[in-house]
Amino acid sequence: MAQDEGSAGFILIEILAALTAAAVSLAAIGMLMAGNLRGSSRIEQHITLAQTLRAVETGLPDRDDLSPGTLSGDLQGANWSLTVAPFPNEDTNPRAARIWTPQSVILSVQMPSGANLQLQTIRLVKIGKTP
């Protein structure tokens, strides 16, 4: 009978070890799932920012009507701003500088959560043509 009690104790230890291994595995799976949820929410937020930026771009004045300065507004709960300024570059071709002048165009969108997306580009404006 003493042999039966020793076996029963060994089985109980095996069960506790198996439960511990299962708990550790479930905790690791839970952390992995939480990371995936955070990553997918960031991707969703970035897609929303990109869609809002494109919507703002679509609603901007025509290229010829866009003059240097700052425009701002609110679209779908997101704040946006557009800044058009002379491009700070002293290494321009002197012949081209008589015909064209580069301008920096910066479009920024910021969501209420604080996430933001910025598009920076350069446009050429023909000298003598009023934007």
The tokens 């004045």 sit on which residue? 61
**What's the pLDDT at 33?**
94
Residue 131 pLDDT greater than 90, yes or no:
no
Q: Which residues of 10-46 are buried (b: 16+ CB within 10 A; e: fewer)?
A: eeeeeeeeeeeeeeeeeeeeeeeeeeeeeeeeeeeee
Query: What amino acid occupies position 65?
Result: D
| CA–CA–CA angle 100, 101, 107 (5° rounding) | 125
In angstroms, the first-to-last Cα distance of the chain is: 100
Q: What is the pLDDT of residues 60-110, one digit of tens each?
A: 888 778 888 998 998 888 899 999 998 887 777 777 777 888 888 999 999
Residue 1 pLDDT greater than 50, yes or no:
no
pTM of the full structure: 0.65
